């Protein structure tokens, strides 16, 4: 009875790992709210600075996806906004501003530093152990060898997003594809295999976000 239902829920969400070569719009998801209901009494945690914008982003994106795709739609606004916010750390001023404004942030009201601290707090909160559910969120970046990221960017994404960057050879797309799939398979305890079907020849970066939910 209940276990079957839980399994279906788990399977649905596992199938939703966001794993598309950037900038493909993809997937799929799990809500944010469950894990921290009951915690709202503590004085405004940093993620309160980002959750309203993520909710608005979710609704705007849903509207757009629903117009293009009939039927049920499953996607993860948290995954998409997290990876794009992470990416903004590696962009120059104008691009960085455009990414964050595109996600719906008003940078006058919420300075960039607060946004990144907000995501840091959100990821941390989602990762907190809970007796009722297991939730693991992760971000990674696979960068082509010809891209040389700055150390500051690598330090920031690790500190704020818990993200790791890996160097890959995208000219050898078969090997790199296998490597990425193997990485996701390990991170999701074998539940998500071959999530990345293919990427185009001119791919230089794959932004990866996964959510394991049980
Ligand atoms: C951003 O916030 C400021 C201050 O609240 C406001 O004056 C401005 O109109 C907002 N910008 C946008 C694009 O909503
Ligand atoms: C990347 O892969 C291609 C194709 O296999 C190979 O020719 C090239 O030497 C590799 N580049 C590096 C830097 O390993």
Q: How far is the CA of 169 from the centre of ligand 2 (A)?
A: 6
Whole-number pLDDT of residue 27: 32
Nearest ligand atom owner, CA of 102: 1
For 73-130, write each residue's pLDDT tens digit: 989 999 999 999 999 999 988 999 999 999 999 999 999 999 999 999 999 998 888 8
Q: How far is the CA of 202 from the centre of ligand 2 (A)?
A: 14
CATH code of 152's domain? 3.30.497.10
For 128-178, write each residue's pLDDT tens digit: 888 888 888 899 999 999 999 999 999 999 999 999 999 999 999 889 999
207 has pLDDT over 70: yes
Residue 38 lies in a domain: no
Total structural domains within the chain: 1
Ligand 1 mutation pick, 49, 102, 105, 106, max ligand atoms within 8 A of CB: 106
- If you write DSSP's letter for every residue of the chain in order, what string do you get? -HHHHHHHHHHHHHTT-B---TT--------SHHHHTT-TTSS--GGGGTHHHHHHHHHHHHHHHHHH--S-----HHHHHHHHHHHHTTS-HHHHHHHHHHTT--TTTS-HHHHHHHHHHHHHHHHS--SS--EEEEEEEEEETT----HHHHHHHHHHH--EEEEE-TTSHHHHHHHHHHHHHHHTTTS--S------TT--EEEEEEEEE-
Give, using CA atoms, the residue closest to atom 5 of ligand 1.
Answer: 109
Euclidean distance between CA atoms 105 and 56, whole angstroms: 10
Residue 150 lies in a domain: yes
Euclidean distance between CA atoms 105 and 100, whole angstroms: 6
pTM to 2 decimal places: 0.77
Q: How far is the CA of 100 from the centre of ligand 1 (A)?
A: 14
Euclidean distance between CA atoms 52 and 106, whole angstroms: 11
Domain limits for position 129: 5-22+46-213
Give, using CA atoms, the residue closest to atom 12 of ligand 2.
Answer: 169
Residue 41 lies in a domain: no
List of residues 6+ apart from 213 with CB closer than 8 A: 9, 10, 13, 14, 30, 133, 134, 135, 136
Residue 28 lies in a domain: no
Ligand 1: does its nearest atom lie under 6 Å from the Cβ of 108?
Answer: yes
For 14-55, write each residue's pLDDT tens digit: 333 334 333 333 333 333 443 444 444 457 889 999 999 999
Residue 31 lies in a domain: no
Residue 16 lies in a domain: yes
Ligand 1: does its nearest atom lie under 6 Å from the Cβ of 110?
Answer: no
Q: How far is the CA of 197 from the centre of ligand 2 (A)?
A: 21
């Amino acid at each position: 009875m209940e276990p079957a239902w839980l399994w279906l829920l788990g399977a649905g969400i596992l199938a939703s790992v966001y794993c598309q070569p950037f900038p493909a719009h993809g997937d799929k998801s799990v809500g944010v709210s469950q894990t921290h209901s009951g915690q709202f009494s503590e004085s405004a945690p940093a993620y309160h600075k980002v959750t309203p914008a993520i909710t608005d982003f979710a609704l705007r994106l849903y509207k757009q996806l629903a117009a293009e795709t009939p039927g049920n739609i499953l996607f993860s606004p948290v995954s998409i906004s997290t990876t794009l916010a992470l990416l903004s750390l590696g962009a120059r001023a104008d691009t960085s501003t455009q990414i964050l404004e595109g996600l719906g942030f008003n940078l006058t009201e919420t300075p960039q530093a607060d946004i990144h601290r907000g995501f840091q707090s959100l990821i941390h909160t989602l990762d907190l152990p809970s007796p009722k559910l297991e939730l693991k969120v992760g971000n990674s970046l696979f960068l082509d060898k010809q891209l040389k990221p700055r150390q500051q960017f690598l330090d920031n994404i690790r500190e704020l997003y818990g993200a790791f960057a890996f160097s890959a050879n995208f000219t050898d797309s078969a090997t790199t594809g296998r490597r990425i799939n193997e990485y996701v398979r390990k991170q999701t305890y074998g539940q998500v295999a071959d999530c990345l079907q293919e990427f185009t020849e001119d791919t230089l970066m794959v932004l990866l976000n996964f959510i394991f939910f049980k």
